[in-house]
């Protein structure tokens, strides 16, 4: 449990840094972290807390906004999707990453249209909201695919090639 908390804290720090380091708009690992957390953390409270706490803490600095609740709900949904995906299957990871980016785009831009006061409350205003957000979607999709590949790939490689202490001891005994 301590290792899981420390690992979660490490990912939380990386997620926070990703919001403050210079990057293209919406190019962050947050959706990938939500998927990854759902897939690998046994403690689902940690899996849910990591991306939500990262977004909330960074929003306190960057600015609170009308779509915060929608963002948190999406992150929770992506964590749940992560619980159901096959983390050792790259097609499953990629499909869930793409679905996450699309769902995030639809939900958050609808929220901006509905509650942001930026767009006219009509079908044409809604379509303008989605059309205006396409450049942000491209970065979000690319980052979610990239970071999902990195997180799941690195974790699977680490799991495949790491040795438990018992395995190391067994190897030492066999060599004597």
Can you tell me the distance from the alpha carbon of 22 to that of 28, in angstroms, rounded to the nearest whole number? 10
**Over the stretch 5-50, which tens digit does the pLDDT of each residue have?**
888 899 999 999 999 999 999 999 999 999 999 999 999 999 999 9
pTM: 0.87
Is the predicted pLDDT of residue 174 greater than 70, yes or no?
A: no
Q: What are the boundaries of each domain within the chain?
A: 2-175
Q: CA-based Rg of the chain, rounded to a whole angstrom?
A: 19
The pLDDT value recorded for residue 31 is: 97
The pLDDT value recorded for residue 2 is: 82
Residue 137: HSE in the Cβ half-sphere, 13 Å Cα cutoff = 18
The pLDDT value recorded for residue 167 is: 57
Distance between first and last Cα of the chain = 34
Q: Does domain 2-175 have CATH number 1.10.1760?
A: yes
Can you tell me the distance from the alpha carbon of 19 to that of 157, in angstroms, rounded to the nearest whole number? 27
Can you tell me the distance from the alpha carbon of 82 to that of 176, in angstroms, rounded to the nearest whole number? 43
Is the predicted pLDDT of residue 59 greater than 80, yes or no?
A: yes
The one-character DSSP state at 90 is: H
**Over the stretch 145-171, which tens digit does the pLDDT of each residue have?**
999 999 999 999 988 887 665 554 554
The pLDDT value recorded for residue 164 is: 60
Torsion on CA atoms 89, 6, 79, 156, rounded to nearest 10: 0
Say whether 57 sits in a helix, a strand or coil: helix
Can you tell me the distance from the alpha carbon of 126 to that of 67, in angstroms, rounded to the nearest whole number? 15
Distance of CA 162 to the CA centre of its chain: 25
The pLDDT value recorded for residue 171 is: 46
């Amino acid at each position: 449990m301590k290792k899981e908390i420390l690992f979660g804290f490490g990912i939380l720090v990386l997620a926070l840094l990703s919001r403050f380091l210079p990057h293209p708009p919406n190019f962050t690992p947050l959706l990938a972290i939500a998927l990854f957390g759902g897939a690998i953390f046994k403690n689902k409270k940690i899996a849910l807390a990591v991306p939500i706490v990262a977004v909330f803490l960074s929003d306190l600095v960057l600015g609170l906004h009308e779509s915060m609740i929608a963002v948190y709900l999406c992150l929770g949904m992506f964590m749940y999707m992560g619980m159901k995906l096959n983390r050792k299957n790259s097609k499953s990871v990629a499909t869930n990453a793409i679905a996450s980016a699309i769902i995030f785009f639809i939900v958050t831009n609808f929220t901006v249209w509905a509650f942001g006061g930026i767009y006219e409350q009509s079908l044409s205003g809604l379509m303008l909201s989605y059309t205006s957000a396409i450049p942000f979607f491209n970065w979000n999709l690319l980052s979610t695919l990239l970071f999902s590949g990195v997180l799941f790939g690195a974790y699977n490689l680490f799991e495949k090639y790491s040795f438990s202490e018992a395995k190391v001891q067994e190897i030492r005994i066999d060599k004597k």
